[in-house]
Structures are given as C-alpha cells and as structure tokens.
A and B are shown apart, each in its own frame.
Chain A
C-alpha cells in the first residue's frame, strides 16, 4: 500500500468524505487517519459540517409548485401554434391602415424577437458546449456534413469550409433555434467555437440583419439566397466578422 503524508491526505480529504477516491487512494487515507490524530480531527470536522448542513436542509418549493409547472407546460404546448395567428388577426383588424400596420407589425416583431433570438442563440450555443454535444457529425468535409444534415432536416443547408486554416469546419449537428429546426455548422478558432445556425428564410426567426454583443458573446445574422444565418461565438466581434465576410 502506498504511504502518504499529512499534506497529501489533506488534499484528498474532501474527495474522501465525498466518496470520490480510487480504491487505493481510499485505503491510503483510511490507514493514515488511524495513525494520525490531526488528520483524524480534520476528517471529523468535515463529517460534522456535513451532518450540520444536512440537518439544516435546503429550501423546498412552496405548495402547489408542481401543479403550476404542469399547468404552464400544458399551456405552452399549445401556444406555439395559437399565438401567432391571434396577433395576425389583431393586426388585420386595423384594416384602415392595413399596409402601415403590417410594416409596423413587421418592424416590432423584429425588435422584440431580435432580443429573444440573441438570448436563445447564446443559450443554445453554450448549452451545447456544456453538455458536450456541440457536434453530432465530426468532419471538415462539407460533402460529409451536408448530406448528414440534409437527411435529418426538411432542407439542404449550404455548409461551407471557407477558411480551413483559420476557421476550420469541425462538423455539424441538428438543433433548434426558437423552436424551429436549424442546421448547425461548427467552426473552430484556437480553443473557441463558432456556432452557425442555418434556417430556410421561410421558416426562421433570424432577422435579415443583426450585429450584437452580449455577455461576452458576439452574434451576427445575415441572409443569402434561400437561407438565413446566425453566427454565435465567444470570439471578439472583429474576429467573428472576418469569418462571416468569407462565408457571405
């Protein structure tokens, strides 16, 4: 059995009470604390802290919480189809200024949705990184990525590898952006990633043009041909732009 000294034991003690050590480390710590009063005391202290925390307990939701969640879920499962027609109906009632109203409606929709889109874009991007599912098909070959995506989507996304040296294409995945299916191409840049959402213009909430930075992320949207694009990255806006200029 490996012998370890007090400072090594102290480093492992938290993992020891959390049951996260390998069998051999665990044995080494156990044997040490039977012989060392100081480390034994440190361990007891950790254990009593845990007992005290667990006795205190955490916060529980207020009564009826689950019911409220279920109710909200039920409503939202329907609203995605219901909401839009209602707004359109309301707008059409402004018949006197029909054209003006529609222009205004369009403009307002974009102002409101742009904000949500920025949030959702960042959120999908970071969630995918955190959950380690940024890429479902890993390849720098557009002839591999594109058919893979096309098979899984109702459209054929134009995926390009425009700057293999500076922004290599790492792969792609199928995801959703604001509830709509999107093809995602992922580009690398040092240790950063660029998520590029691609949606057909007739089924997208990506505005025709957008440049934004938020919480350290840079975003840009544009359109080309039948497709709307949204790029999200933790790169600086200028660096992101140099990729986008080439994609355009």
Chain B
C-alpha cells in the first residue's frame, strides 16, 4: 500500500486505539492479550483498508477488535484455558497500575474513589460477555445504539434490551457488593 494511504489510515484509526484497547480489555480480561488483540485488529484493518467504505471508523475498527477477541475467547475455551478467579485478582492489581501510574500515597477521597472503581469494575466483570460488551460500548465510549448494533451484529432493538438487562444485572451485582463489602468472584461469563 502506498505511503499516503498508510498515513491516511493512521490519521483515521489511531485516535480510536484507546476505545479498541478498552473493549479488548473488557472482553479478554487481560492487559497483554488485549494489547495483542488490538495490534492484530489494526493490521487486519490496514490490510482491508480498501474495503472500508468511509463509514464510522471507530465502529469499523471495534467490530474487528470484537471479532478477534471472541475468536480468542473461543480458543481459550477449547484449550480449556478458562480464566477463573486468578484473573480477577490479577485484574485488580492491574487496574491500579493502569489507572494510577503515579504511585503517590492515596488521600482518603482518592482511596474511596479507588475502592468504588474496584467494586464497579469487578461487578462489570461478572456480566456475561453479551451484556458486558454493550454496556462498555455505551457507558465508556458513548456509542449510539446504531453503532453498537453494527459492532455486535444485532438489531438495534436487541442492543436496547441487552443494555437494559446489563444495567439491571449490574445494579444487582453492585448492591450485593455494597452490602457485603466483597464481590462474588465466581466466573459467570458463560451463562446467558
């Protein structure tokens, strides 16, 4: 591919690396796997750049990211590499590293915020994939229903009902963790 179009590709798609990483990170629950998935997605997008029809670049890239992640999850499952418990524990440590690159001591308010972040993230992690992905795309990346529908390959109505259920489940998970101060660490990702 000529240099000019590579430059154009970078201008279009690099701004969405953050969203791509975030989605991959929530789907794969592992920082390195997420980074690898995005790398692969960018290469794939680049190779297929000429088929890109000029629509929403972020949605196009995220659809590729999602596809790669689901394939990776499928592969993990078939190799019996189901990541239980340990991953969620690891995830907590990792969150601090990623969210707090500055290791200065936390003030009370910051500590509370960090504690709530931990709870919210743990609650999202308990959602089944199909609910987790729509919630993440809507709440963290503020995509509209139509773009989410395009990314996950379902009708808009399905996005709407999944979002509603995702929020109900999340509320339930959070009220449990708010009361007990601990979270359910069981892997529930495969249940519908």
Contact = CB atoms under 8 A, between A and B. Distances in A.
Contacts of B171: 45, 49
Contacts of A133: 51, 53
Size band of the interface chain A makes with B: 35 or more
B113 A62 contact: no
Given A53-B140, A56-B117, A131-B150, A126 B10 contact: no
Contacts of A53: 120, 124, 135, 139-140, 170
Given A62-B98, A70-B14, A73-B42, A55 B116 contact: yes
A130 B14 contact: no
Contact of A14 (B44, B121, B150, B163): B163
Contacts of A62: 31, 35, 97-98
Contact of A57 (B21, B26, B43, B117): B117
Q: Among A54, A56, A70, A126, which residue has the most Cβ atoms of chain B within 10 A?
A: A56
Secondary structure class of chain A's binding surface, majority of residues: helix
A133 B53 CA distance: 9
A123 B99 CA distance: 33
Interface string A190-227: 00000000000000000000000001000000000000
Given A18-B145, A59-B95, A131-B60, A69 B67 contact: no
B106 to A, nearest CB: 15
A57 B113 CA distance: 11
Contacts of B64: 127
Contact of B38 (A58, A69, A76): A69
Contacts of B25: 58-59
A60 B18 CA distance: 6
A52 interface: yes
A94 to B, nearest CB: 31
A102 B66 CA distance: 39
B88 to A, nearest CB: 14
B76 interface: no
A77 B1 contact: yes
A65 B150 CA distance: 26
Contacts of B39: 68-69, 72
Contacts of B116: 52, 55-56
A131 B17 contact: no
Q: Among A13, A45, A72, A119, which residue has the most Cβ atoms of chain B within 10 A?
A: A72
A73 B6 contact: yes
A66 interface: yes
Size band of the interface chain B makes with A: 35 or more
Secondary structure class of chain B's binding surface, majority of residues: helix
B48 interface: yes
Contacts of B14: 66, 69-70
Contact of B138 (A18, A63, A66): A18
A20 to B, nearest CB: 5
Contacts of B17: 61, 65-66, 69
Contacts of B126: none
A31 to B, nearest CB: 21
Contacts of B113: 55
B51 A65 contact: no
A175 interface: yes
A131 B63 CA distance: 8
Contacts of A131: 53, 55, 60, 63, 150
A60 B21 CA distance: 7
Nearest to A59: B25
Interface string B113-135: 10011001100100000000001
Given A62-B35, A69-B42, 13 more contacts: A15-B160, A52-B120, A53-B139, A58-B26, A59-B22, A66-B14, A68-B39, A73-B10, A76-B46, A77-B1, A127-B64, A129-B153, A131-B53
6 contacts: A57-B99, A65-B35, A68-B35, A131-B55, A131-B150, A215-B71
